[in-house]
Amino acid sequence: MDKLVIQGGVPLTGEVRVSGAKNAALPILCAALLTPGTLRLQNVPHLRDVTTTLTLLAQMGVDVSLDEKLGVGLTAAKLHNLSAPYELVKTMRASILVLGPMITRFGEARVSLPGGCAIGQRPVDLHIKGLQAMGAQIEIEQGYILAKAGRLKGTHIVLDLVTVTGTENLMMAAVLADGVTVLENAAREPEVIDLAECLNAMGARIKGAGSDVITIEGVDELHDATHRIMPDRIEIGTFLCAAAATGGNIKLKGTRANILDAVIGKLQEAGAHVEQGEDWIRLSTNGSLKAVSLRTAPFPAFPTDMQAQFMALNSVAQGTAVVTETIFENRFMHVQELRRLGASIEVEGNTAIVQGVSALQGANVMATDLRASASLVIAGLVARGETVVDRVYHLDRGYDCIEEKLGQLGARIKRAH
C-alpha cells in the first residue's frame, strides 16, 4: 500500500495550477448516460474516483475515449448492462449518480447500495423517495436498488434535508421526464450549477440551479455537447490551508471567484492575507495565525469537506477553536491521528475543541478517509521531522497529483510503496 513520506517544516511557496472538481466531474460523467449523443468534457481531473466512474460507465456499454489534454469523450448510444455492481459502487458512493440518468432514459436500473468514505451512515433514501414521487417503482433486494419506470412524470419535490448528490440525481432524472419538476430545498453547491450548465448545453431546460428552488422542464431527448469542468474548490481550500499552516506564500492558478468565500473568510479571520482575481488566488502569512471556530453546513456556509484540513491548521494556531460538524456524524477520525503528531484536540459529540500548540512532531499516521488524509498531509508539512501517512489510496480518490503539486511548492514529500 502506498505511503507519503513528508519532511516537515518547509513553508510552501510558488505557483500551482488547480485541477477540475471531483464533485462536479462525477455527476457530469454520469450525465453522459442521458443522451445517445457524445458528451465531450474538458478539465477532467486525474483521480481514482474518476477512473472508477469511467470503468462503471464502460462496463454498462458507454464508449469512452480519452485524450492527453484531460479531455474525455463519452457516448452512451446503446447500453448492454443497466447495472452498477457492488464491486465498483462500494469504493465510491457517488456511483449512485447513475441511478437517475438510467431510470429516466432506459426505464430500468439496478444499482448497488453505495459505500464510499466511512464518515457516517449516509443513506440514499431521499434519492429513492424523489424518484418514486416521479413515478418509479423501486425495491431494495440483496443490497441492490431495483428501479423500473415508464416515462417519469414531472412533480413537486420538497427535499427533507439538503443533499448534494440527491439534488443532482433528481435533476438528471427530471430532464427527460414528462412535464415540469420543481425541487425545493435543493443543494446550492457550485457543482450543482456546473452540472445544470452541462445539462442545459445538452438541451435540458433547467432554471434556478444555485438557488434552493430548481425548476426543470422535461424534454424528449438530449444531444451532443462540450463542457469544461469547474475548478475544485476543495483542492483550492486544501492548498490554501497548507500554505497558511506552514507560513507560506502561494499563488493558485485556474481558480474561480466566489466558490469558496466561507473558507477564505475563515483564513482571513485566522490572520492570513488573501488576494484574488478572476482565475487566481494568492495567500501569504505574516507571523503566526490564530485559531478560528467554525461550523460546517451546506453551501454557502463552511464546507464539511474542508473541516479536517482546517482542524490541522487550528492545531498549530494560537488560541482555542471550537469546530462543529453538522453534516456527517462520524467525521472526526483525523482527530486521533492529529493527536499522534502532538495536536491537542478534545471531541464531544459533533464538536471538537482544538487548543493550538507551538509545534507538531512527525510520526506515522493512517489516512481514514479522503479529507482526513488531506489534514494529515497538512499536519505533516508543518511537523518537525518525518511524517509517514499510510493508506494514501484515500487521497488518490480525490486529489490530482498531490505530491507533485506540493513538491512544486517546495514541500519535501515523496511516495513510497
Q: Minimum distance from CB of 170 to ligand UD1 (Å)?
A: 10
User: Which residue among 123, 143, 150, 277 contacts ligand UD1 (CB under 6 A)?
Assistant: 123
User: What pairs with residue 44 in β-bridges?
Assistant: none
Site residues (CB under 6 A) for ligand UD1, limited to 222-241: none
> Mask: binding to ligand UD1, 189-208, rule CB under 6 A, as x and -?
--x-----------------
8 A C-beta contact, residue 317 and residue 289:
yes
Under 8 Å CB-to-CB from 404, ≥6 apart: which residues?
none
Q: Is 188 in the site for ligand UD1 (CB under 6 A)?
A: no
**Nearby residues of 172 by Cβ (< 8 Å), 6 or more positions away:** 27, 30, 31, 34, 97, 100, 101, 104, 195, 199
- Residue 93 lies near ligand UD1 (rule: CB under 6 A): yes
Report the 3 state secondary structure along 180-239.
Answer: EEEEECCCCCHHHHHHHHHHHHCCCEEECECECEEEEECCCCCCCEEEECCECHHHHHHH
Choice from 144, 302, 310, 328 touching ligand UD1 (CB under 6 A): 328
Residue with cell 518525518: 386
- Mask 260-299, x = binds ligand UD1 (CB under 6 A)? ----------------------------------------
Nearer to ligand UD1, 163 or 215 (CB): 163
Q: What are phi and psi of 382, to 5 degrees?
A: -90, -35
Q: Does 88 bind ligand UD1 (CB under 6 A)?
A: no
Q: How far is the CB of 349 from ligand UD1 (least distance, A)?
A: 15
Write down the catalytic residue from 30, 117, 198, 241.
117
Q: Quick one: which of 163, 181, 246, 307 contacts ligand UD1 (CB under 6 A)?
A: 163
23 or 246: whose CB is closer to ligand UD1?
23
Q: How far, in Å, CA of 315 to CA of 63, rounded? A: 47
User: Which neighbouring-strand residues pair with 353?
Assistant: 322, 346
Say which residues have a Cβ less than 8 Å from residue 181's Cβ, sequence separation at least 6. 134, 154, 155, 156, 157, 170, 174, 215, 216, 218
The span from the CA of 341 to the CA of 254, in Å, is 33
User: 29 or 270, CB closer to ligand UD1?
Assistant: 29
* Residue 117 bears catalytic tag: yes
Q: Shortest distance, CB of residue 355 to ligand UD1, whole angstroms?
A: 26
Q: How far is the CB of 329 from ligand UD1 (least distance, A)?
A: 7
CB of 117 to ligand UD1, least distance (A): 8
Q: Which region, judged by CB under 6 A, interacts with ligand UD1, from 118-126, 204-212, 269-277, 383-391? A: 118-126
Stretch that binds ligand UD1, among 143-151, 197-205, 207-215, 303-311 (CB under 6 A): 303-311
Q: Binding pattern to ligand UD1, positions 132-161, x when CB under 6 A?
A: -----------------------------x
Q: Does 26 bind ligand UD1 (CB under 6 A)?
A: yes
In the block, cell 486521533 appears at 336
Q: Residue 63 in contact with residue 77, Cβ under 8 Å?
A: yes
Q: Binding ligand UD1 by CB under 6 A: which of 327, 343, 366, 372?
A: 327
Determine the size of the site formed for ligand UD1 (CB under 6 A): 23
Going by the DSSP 8-state scheme, the letter that residue 34 receives in this structure is: G
Q: How far is the CB of 69 from ligand UD1 (least distance, A)?
A: 24
Distance of CA 160 to the CA centre of its chain: 22
Which of 40, 48, 105, 122 lies at the binding interface for ligand UD1 (CB under 6 A)? 122
The residue among 194, 143, 161 whose CA lies nearest residue 20 is 194
H/E run at residue 390: strand 386-390
Q: Is 48 a binder of ligand UD1 (CB under 6 A)?
A: no
- Among 4, 6, 23, 251, interactor with ligand UD1 by CB under 6 A: 23
Contact 281, 236 (CB under 8 A): yes
Give the span between the Cα atoms of 15 and 282, in whole angstroms. 9
Q: Least CB distance from residue 20 to ligand UD1, whole Å?
A: 13
User: Which residues are within 8 A (CB) of 318 and not within 5 positions of it... i.e. 6 or more apart?
Assistant: 288, 289, 290, 291, 356
Q: Is 112 in the site for ligand UD1 (CB under 6 A)?
A: no
Q: How far is the CB of 21 from ligand UD1 (least distance, A)?
A: 9
Chain contacts with ligand UD1 (rule: CB under 6 A)? 23, 26, 93-94, 120-127, 161, 163-166, 191, 303-305, 327-328
Catalytic residue positions?
A: 117
